[in-house]
Amino acid sequence: MPVILLGTLDTKGVEFQFVRELLQHGGVSTLVIDAGVQGPPAFQPDIHREAVFAAAGTSLAAVVGKGDRGQAVEAAARGAAKVVVELHAQGKVDGVLGLGGSAGTTIATAAMRALPFGVPKLMVSTLASGQVRQYVGVRDILMLHSVVDISGINRVSKTVLTNAAGAMLGMVQQAHKTVVLAPRSTKQLLKPVVAATMFGVTTPCVEAARKILEADDKEVLVFHATGTGGLTMESFIADGIIAGVLDITTTELADELVGGILSAGPDRLTAAGLRGVPQVISVGALDMVNFGPRDSVPEQFKERRFYQHNSTVTLMRTTPDENDALGKEIAQKASAARGPTAVLVPKGGVSAIDAPGQPFWWPEADQALFASLRQWMSPQVELLELDLHINDPAFARTAVETLLRLLNQPLAT
């Protein structure tokens, strides 16, 4: 299978030729996709730009005729993603390597994000030293800073591009070795994969649960509930990688509701339900909304209760009204699930700082959350209320035992 080289051959053709020769010299075949519009390609690609824009539902002539660079880049990104996904479905993608500035990065990473976890993805970009979340998303994309602009082969760009080619060669060759060695690790590959969510204030619970699950021969992927973590877990579930979910820490819902910085978006807590994946849901760290340094907290919240986690993280206690809304949201999403679902309620507190004597202990706020869950939960969802704190070892064991029981149930049709 080839490595896909994806970019604009009108402006980055010389650089792509250089990388292509390095990859081919290293024993890897290549397939070049051109997504340029400004001028003729520096060399003939394997897939022409006309095919890219046709895949986007338009044409090269239409895009050029509009004379709008932003629309051209958007269409190229959309078309490139579709082309690469189709190639992957045909078993024709060993990896994807892109080179570019803002336009090239937007186009190539759109295709990379459309591919599943594990396919080598490398983007050499002039933007890689800054904020790259919009390009990486939840995928395993390696961003390599070009250091100088991608404009010709010089002593700096030659070094960076050689390293990029070497990195891609290493990833592709290692992937092939992994396939060869797979029979030696068949037992590991056959282990059911369980996803779990954790925050610092729910770590004792999740760590205890992980150890129990691993002793039961499960492989556990723990996602840090920082927005990106929740998004990544949801994408893994949607990709069919996850057999069961231990969603102990649903704190990202609070940030989405109130306006904190660690939101995972409105679709958090939906992927397992849509796919019918067995799930155990709890209310870990719903006592808090996350902000940056204290002076970054919006003025509208100045009278609220806060806890300074450290110099860069300020936690704000959720109110009874907010907890009422969160309970309703969890109940509705759990009730819509197609697979076996249980919700576990730790009546003794939902985080390490929500306990008697701790800064976020507010029984009335917790009770509003629990009452809302009771009111809105469908009878088909198992609601277990435990007189335990979320970090009590018994709570972790009950959560695991419940998930293992649900994993043995047939999925709903």
pLDDT band at 409 (very low <50, low <70, confident <90, very high): low
- The residue that leads in pLDDT, 279 or 186, is 279
pLDDT of residue 106: 95
Q: What's the mean pLDDT when you consider all of the chain?
A: 93
Q: Which token pair is 79?
A: 């078309």
Mean pLDDT of 390-411: 90
pLDDT tens for each residue of 152-201: 999 999 999 999 999 999 999 887 765 444 444 445 557 899 999 999 99
Mean pLDDT of 374-383: 97
pLDDT of residue 147: 94
Mean pLDDT of 402-411: 82
CATH of domain 3-181: 3.40.50.12020
pLDDT at 13 over 90: yes
pLDDT of residue 175: 76
Domain boundaries 191-407, CATH class: alpha beta
pLDDT at 267 over 70: yes
| 390 DSSP 8-state letter | T
Furthest C-alpha separation in the chain? 70
pLDDT tens for each residue of 111-127: 999 999 999 999 999 99
pLDDT band at 71 (very low <50, low <70, confident <90, very high): very high
pLDDT tens for each residue of 129-142: 988 989 999 999 99
Q: What proportion of the chain, given as a percentage, has pLDDT over 90?
A: 89
Contacts of 101 (CB under 8 A, 6+ apart): 125, 126, 127, 149, 150
Q: How far apart, in whole angstroms, are the C-alpha atoms of residue 374 and residue 74?
A: 46
Most confident stretch, 68-72, 223-227, 317-321 = 317-321
pLDDT tens for each residue of 330-346: 999 999 999 999 999 99
* Extents of the domains making up the chain: 3-181, 191-407
Shared fold status for 3-181 and 191-407: yes
Q: How far apart, in whole angstroms, are the C-alpha atoms of residue 345 and residue 395?
A: 9
pLDDT at 65 over 60: yes
pLDDT of residue 335: 98
Mean pLDDT of 367-386: 98
pLDDT of residue 186: 45
